[in-house]
Amino acid sequence: MKKIVMSIVALTATTALMAGVNAASCTGCHGADWSKKALGKSLDVSQMTHKEIADSLIGYKNGTYGRAMKGLMKGQVAKYSDADLEAFAQTIGK
């Protein structure tokens, strides 16, 4: 029972952190476990640190980060606040 309660607490906390960002649009390209190289061009997000993910998402938003997918990703993250992107980054990566 304790494991079930702890799992529900962890899921609730993760969901609260991700509430600002629609993860479904991310996992569509990056995979459910974040290891898929989106369109064969991106980095393996599952191997990135939380800071690297946050920096890249905010960089995409500001137009200061990215290569081949820069334009596509800017459109994906433009609607989110930096705080939303920072919180979301804490839920994936290492």
Please report whether residue 47 resides in a domain: yes
Given pLDDT bands bounded at 50, 70 and 90, which one contains residue 94?
Answer: confident
Domain around 12 = 2-89
> How many domains does the chain fold into?
1
Please report whether residue 61 resides in a domain: yes
Please report whether residue 20 resides in a domain: yes
The pTM for the full model equals: 0.77
- Calculate the alpha carbon distances from 69 to 19, 32, 44, 87 in Å: 24, 19, 14, 22
The CATH number covering residue 26 comes to 1.10.760
Please report whether residue 94 resides in a domain: no
pLDDT of 19 above 60: no
b/e string for 40-63 if b means 16 or more Cβ within 10 A?
Answer: eebeebeebeeeebbbbbbbbbee
